[in-house]
Structure 1
Amino acid sequence: MDRHDGFREFVLARQQALMRTAYLLTGDAHQAEDLLQSVLSKVVRHWGRLARDGNPEAYIRKSLVNQYTSWRRRPRPEQPSAELTDHGASHDDATLDRIVLRQALAKLGPRQRAVIVLRFYEDLTEAQTAEALGCSIGTVKSQTHHALNRLRAIAPELAPMLTEAEIEEVAR
């Protein structure tokens, strides 16, 4: 039995979900691809143990967050602006909300952004999020609270959407 047995199948089956997480963390499709490739190239070395332990996706998700956080600490070369420009195209309200939310997420710190992505996009519980981030449940709760307040301040037009998110959070 090869120590990489099942890795290819796992990646093919879970690639879209992992790529979505990477994209939501980075806010850029190319950086998301780089992030996921970087993490998967490290994970493949330990695949036999991860597959045996039974939850490789949680480990990979945690690795994505850690690698993303590490990348954010490094000085980056100047990047093109991600600001929304009006090119005369009409968008529906949902599309505009997604664009505004993506821009607001980009302004959060890496930990707050990771908490929002894991809790609301990946729909992880507080305990699963705490495990993925390597912190306590209380930290997840406070980071979620602070991140939602920051999003509300950055993009007040998203307040109704954020209020719904908080109601869902309290209901869990």
Structure 2
Amino acid sequence: MSLLTPAADVSVRPAVPGDEREVARIQLAAWRTAHADVLGEAVLDALDEAAFAAQWERAITAPPGPGFRVLVACAGPRVVGFASVAPVSAPEPTEPPAGVVLALEVDPAAQRAGHGSRLLAAVVDLLRADGADQVQTWVMDGDDARVRFLAGAGLGPDGLTRRLATGPGPDEEAHVVAEHRWYAAI
């Protein structure tokens, strides 16, 4: 009889060169699933996976400064999710810094398996190690699954909203989406 019990082979690690293709694929798959109604088919069809991969390669190999990081969630050797985090400058020099989750996506086929929670926990650990006392992120209108996930993790909206032009809409005018900032003390 074996004393070992079955265990999930899941992890979070820093992204390394070569992960950028999976990160881009996951991001676009997640967006097509979560944001189809808000962004629209024309915007989603215009997204270039190779361009996304090139941007992720730069983020992984040459981050723009200290505190900028990309993490990946793995199921065995397979990348199934990612998160990107950056520092936020404190409004006053005496205030501790905050961090912002720029992206946190899990492959739609691997969702609801704890990968998003592991990524968020790893991001919070990194931010705490950097001296941050708050985590922030932005949530697009209509992303009810992300709202439930963040609320379940203890984040909440702080009332700030921003509007982003995502490209031309069906009538060739700018298609604008609203995002709301969520945060939590850490």
The TM-score with structure 1 as length reference comes to 0.31
Higher relative helix content: 1
